Amino acid sequence: TRVQNFSMDPSGPGGNWAAADIAFYNNIVGDRKKTARFADPGNLDYRLQSDSPLAGKAIGGGNPGAFFRQDGRIFYVSPSGVDSSSGTSERLAFRTLSKACGVLRAGDTLYVSEGVYQEPLAVRSSGNPGNPIMLRAFGRKKAVVPSVLLEGSNITVQGFTVSGSGQDAVSVRGDNVSLERCAVYGNRGAGVRASSARNLSVTACTIAENLAGICLEGDSAGAIVRDNIFADNAEGS
pLDDT in tens, 194-230: 999 999 999 999 999 999 999 999 999 999 999 999 9
As a whole number, mean pLDDT of residues 90-106 equals 98
Name the 3-class secondary structure at 208.
strand
Query: pLDDT (tens digit, 9 = 90+) per residue, 64-96?
Result: 999 999 889 999 999 999 999 999 999 999 999
Amino acid in position 156: T
| Residue 152 near residue 172, CB atoms below 8 Å | no
> Quick one: how many helices (H) and strands (E) in the chain?
2, 22
Helix (H, G, I), strand (E, B) or coil at 194: strand
pTM for this entry? 0.92
- Pick the range with the lowest mean pLDDT from 8-12, 27-31, 103-107, 114-118: 27-31
* 36 closest CA partner among 23, 49, 20, 22: 49
Q: Is the pLDDT of residue 1 over 70?
A: no
pLDDT at 113: 98
Report the C-alpha gap between 62 and 26 in whole angstroms: 9
Would you state the pLDDT for residue 11? 85
Q: CA quadruple 142, 167, 101, 84: dihedral positive or negative?
A: negative
Confidence of residue 102 (pLDDT cuts 50, 70, 90): very high
pLDDT at res. 235: 76
pLDDT band at 32 (very low <50, low <70, confident <90, very high): low
Show Cβ contacts of residue 76 under 8 Å, excluding neighbours closer than 6 positions: 49, 87, 88, 89, 90, 92, 93, 94, 100, 110, 111, 112, 113, 138
Q: For residue 212, what are the β-bridge partners? A: 190
Query: What DSSP element (H or E) covers 178?
Result: strand 177-180
